[in-house]
A and B are shown apart, each in its own frame.
Chain A
Amino acid sequence: ILNVEQSPQSLHVQEGDSTNFTCSFPSSNFYALHWYRWETAKSPEALFVMTLNGDEKKKGRISATLNTKEGYSYLYIKGSQPEDSATYLCAPTNFGNEKLTFGTGTRLTIIP
């Protein structure tokens, strides 16, 4: 079982501000890292799948970086908007263990 930690657990950010949060995971046998956004009353929605050390992905105002050697990923949101309010989940996978192991998430609330 992979030990996945996300911090902080929750975050309140003023609209227009930028923010970031962290996903930590075991670096050994790393294969891929998934980021999902889960809005209340909706299904989790895939944001990124990252596999390479140093990888950086971007989708609109949201971007993510990956450090597989030290076992962490950062998710950044630039110029937060109310629609960014959601729980952000990360899930690494390992070689030989293809199932996603989800962290407990960072719950982001944007204050208008």
Chain B
Amino acid sequence: KAGVTQTPRYLIKTRGQQVTLSCSPISGHRSVSWYQQTPGQGLQFLFEYFSETQRNKGNFPGRFSGRQFSNSRSEMNVSTLELGDSALYLCASNSGRKADTQYFGPGTRLTVL
């Protein structure tokens, strides 16, 4: 079974631009969660999508948004990029059942200049 894939793997943008990151979950998984990791911080939860609906949301500004498609693939969008948005963005998928193990993708490294 193929693992979680994320595209692109690396991205360089400038302040004020917007960016879209993509995540393809493991086949059969219906839940996709997004996380941000910055130096010195743990993995910060952004949001979770299940069956095309946002099920949980972390404490991030409205510039961070996401969506999920009928094939469970998910996209995350960040508008009006700020320098502080430079981070590793990870997505993880699972079945959507409570306490189910999450399987992580390789991440997208975003650099904002």
A residues contacting B by CB (< 8 A) are: 1, 4, 31-32, 34, 42-46, 49, 51, 89, 91, 93, 97-105
Residue B89, interface by CB 8 Å:
no
Chain A residues with CB under 8 Å of B4's CB are 43
Contact of A1 among B3, B59, B98, B99 (CB under 8 A): B59
Contact of B99 among A4, A32, A45, A103 (CB under 8 A): A32
User: Are A49's CB and B43's CB within 8 A?
Assistant: no
User: Are B101's CB and A103's CB within 8 A?
Assistant: no
User: Are A43's CB and B90's CB within 8 A?
Assistant: yes
* Nearest CB in chain A: distance from B32 CB, A: 12
B residues contacting A by CB (< 8 A) are: 3-4, 33, 35, 40-45, 48, 55-56, 58-59, 90, 92, 98-107
Q: How far is the CA of A93 from the CA of B99 in the complex (A)?
A: 7
A49 in contact with B101 given A1-B59, A98-B56, A99-B58 (CB within 8 Å): yes
- List 5 A–B pairs whose Cβ atoms lie within 8 Å, in order of A's numbering: A44-B43, A45-B104, A98-B48, A98-B55, A98-B98
Q: How far is the CA of A42 from the CA of B107 in the complex (A)?
A: 9
A43 in contact with B107 given A99-B48, A102-B42 (CB within 8 Å): yes
Chain A residues with CB under 8 Å of B44's CB are 102
Q: How far is the CA of A4 from the CA of B45 in the complex (A)?
A: 13
Q: How far is the CA of A53 from the CA of B25 in the complex (A)?
A: 32
Chain B residues with CB under 8 Å of A45's CB are 104
